[in-house]
Chains A and B, each alone.
Chain A
Amino acid sequence: MKNLNRSRLIKRLNRILIYLLVLLAVFLSVAPIVYLLITSFKEPELTFAIPPVWNFTPTWLNYNVVLSSSNFGKYFINSLVIALSATGIALVLGTLAAYGFSRFRFRGHFWLRISTLIPQMLPPITLVVPFYVLFSGLDWIDTLPALIISYLTFTIPLSIWMMIGFFDDVPIELEEAAMIDGCSRFSALIRISLPLVLPGMAATAILGFLYCWNEFLYAVILTGRDARTLPVIITSFMTNRSVHWGRIAASGSLVLIPVLVFALLAQRYLVRGLARGAVKA
């Protein structure tokens, strides 16, 4: 009897320990992000106060400075246009190709399918060197198409690879039934399978969008003044003379908020996509 009580107690303690460790992991994951958000609402004098001040009246000051002084709106639109174009083009091409890989078997099928995974392994620095020279020759440096093209190098393979998995989940019998009823294969795809993989397309689009939105290396090398994206702009608050941490925090938060919203919305699919090899480009 006593023994039983003891083993129950150990089990209880064990469980409490597990919860504590998980909560610690959650805290460590979230704390730096929360800290950034908090800092963005601090008066500049409080940013560097030691000991840190946690009890303060929040101010929009940093946000006002960021939003009014630095063409933030223009660069926000740049980021948006580039990410949406690169994701949209890739989604159309990638969905078609994924459908092809999922439904047809042909010579070289396996190798071609695997080869769509390789671009996701390429170091961006390997591609940015030729891009720089080629776009210089075309006089495309510092234009939106240059960035859209360079982002297609990872959004297309990502879309193909993610969508193959989603198409594999749709039973082929549904399409075959439609084709027996006189549908062409293409209209069977549009009418039957596409609605079924729509959630998958949304997840793919979100992931692709986030990778473009977050990208830094191509953006910093291939743009000058006009075509800059937000990640590059944030670093411009960091000059050699002074570091405006309040502004960095505010602009960082503005960049991060859509990311956090999307990541939480598509959480389940993102985990699945990552498990399938859709890693950060």
Chain B
Amino acid sequence: MDITSNFTQNRYRQFFRRLEPVFYIGPAFIALIVVLIYPLGYSLWLSFHQWTLRTFRQGVPFVGFQNYIDLFSNPDFLNSLRITFTFVFCAISIEFVLGMGLALLLNHDLKGKNFYRAMILLPMMCTNVVIGLTWRLLLNYQYGLVNYYMGRVGIPPVEWLSSPQVAMASVVLVDVWNTTSFVALMLLAGLQSLPEEPFEAAKIDGASGWQTFFYLTLPLLRPFILVALLWRFIDTFRIFDVIYLLTAGGPARVTETVSIYVYRYGFQSFNLGIAAASSFTMLLIMLVIAGIMARSIGKQD
């Protein structure tokens, strides 16, 4: 009698033990299901329906894959994909090269190191809207400081934001200003975690600075580089506010990334079925590429 009740008590206790993590993790996951998973599922549903200002009051009709078909035959969407990839590629490569340089510089034993690091961190933390507007002022054709000081050294003024040939470069430039510090600080954290012995050995063996960099620093830093690139990819792929404030996707759609395309389609012409379909396509593309990148990080570890 005594033994059995003890036994059931133990079973109870074990049961509660196993449930214990649920008490801690459960609330956050319930919240995430409500605010995140449900809207995502709803968006998927939306992407198979025709939701426009005309239809939504009478119940939106199911259209199967029509939204997706329309999307991939829409030159504007394909254009926005191309623009996004161009932007991602240009911005990330420049940020990587500059960020690496900056990280190597900051890795020296400098006086006032923390001060420099703090100052370089600032662009990254700034409100994107303010960044966009400030650069719009700086890059203004007539009154902007950039054109003025270029003129002082004899370079003719450039239509930074209104010329279709230059606008993409300007948008990339602002993103480089905004986030190079992110790459630099991540790589700096990596540099500081590297072991010292191989570098001393290389020094004794008489390796040049470049040799050390390419054959030692770069391979050892690989996991940090991949993580930095992964986050930069995700962030540039979904960019909206800085570009929206600088050019709003113009001129002639040369800076219309997918996010801006969806915004225009969804919230200016209120075709939310198409907007859902395009934002889902965008999400899928992003997850596939991010997944590939994450796997190559996993392989390293």
Binds B, one of A2-10, A92-100, A174-182, A194-202: A92-100
State how many residues of chain B have any CB contact under 8 Å with chain A.
84
CA distance A279 to B117 in the complex (A): 18
CB distance from A208 to the nearest CB of B (A): 13
Binds A, one of B86-94, B179-187, B214-222: B179-187
Residues from 217 to 249 in A contacting B, C-beta threshold 8 Å: 217, 221, 231-232, 234-235, 238, 245, 248-249
Binds A, one of B1-9, B118-126, B162-170, B200-208: B118-126
**Per-position 1/0 for B121-135, Cβ under 8 A of A:** 111111111110111
Say which residue of A22, A130, A210, A231 sits within 8 Å of B105 (CB atoms). Answer: A22
CA distance A15 to B287 in the complex (A): 44
Q: A126 with B134: in contact, given A18-B105, A152-B35 (CB under 8 Å)? A: no
Contact of B68 with A by CB under 8 A: no
Q: A255 with B127: in contact, given A126-B280, A156-B28, A267-B118 (CB under 8 Å)? A: yes
Q: Give me 12 A-to-B residue pairs in the complex whose CB atoms sit less than 8 angstroms apart, sorted by A's number.
A: A123-B279, A124-B238, A125-B238, A125-B240, A131-B39, A153-B32, A153-B36, A231-B128, A234-B130, A248-B137, A263-B122, A263-B125
Contact of A13 with B by CB under 8 A: no
B129 contacts which chain A residues (CB < 8 A)?
A: 214, 216, 231-232, 234-235, 252, 255
Structural contact, A125 and B127, CB atoms closer than 8 A = no
B117 contacts which chain A residues (CB < 8 A)?
A: 267, 271
B135 contacts which chain A residues (CB < 8 A)?
A: 32
Structural contact, A126 and B40, CB atoms closer than 8 A = yes
Contact of B213 with A by CB under 8 A: no
CB distance from A141 to the nearest CB of B (A): 12
**Per-position 1/0 for A13-53, Cβ under 8 A of B:** 00100110111011011101101100100000001101110
Top 9 A-B residue pairs of the complex, sorted by shortest distance between their CB atoms = A100-B24, A123-B238, A97-B28, A130-B43, A263-B125, A100-B25, A130-B39, A231-B129, A104-B21
CB distance from A175 to the nearest CB of B (A): 13
CA distance A269 to B28 in the complex (A): 23
CB distance from B79 to the nearest CB of A (A): 17
Contact of A259 with B by CB under 8 A: yes
Contact of B97 with A by CB under 8 A: no
Residues from 56 to 86 in A contacting B, C-beta threshold 8 Å: none
Q: Which residues of B contact A (CB under 8 A)?
A: 18, 20-21, 23-25, 27-29, 31-32, 35-36, 39-40, 42-43, 46, 51, 56, 101-102, 105-106, 108, 110, 114, 116-131, 133-135, 137-138, 142-143, 145, 148, 177, 181-182, 185-186, 189, 227, 231, 234-235, 237-238, 240-241, 244-245, 258-259, 262-263, 266-267, 272, 275-276, 279-280, 282-283, 286-287, 290
CA distance A112 to B118 in the complex (A): 34
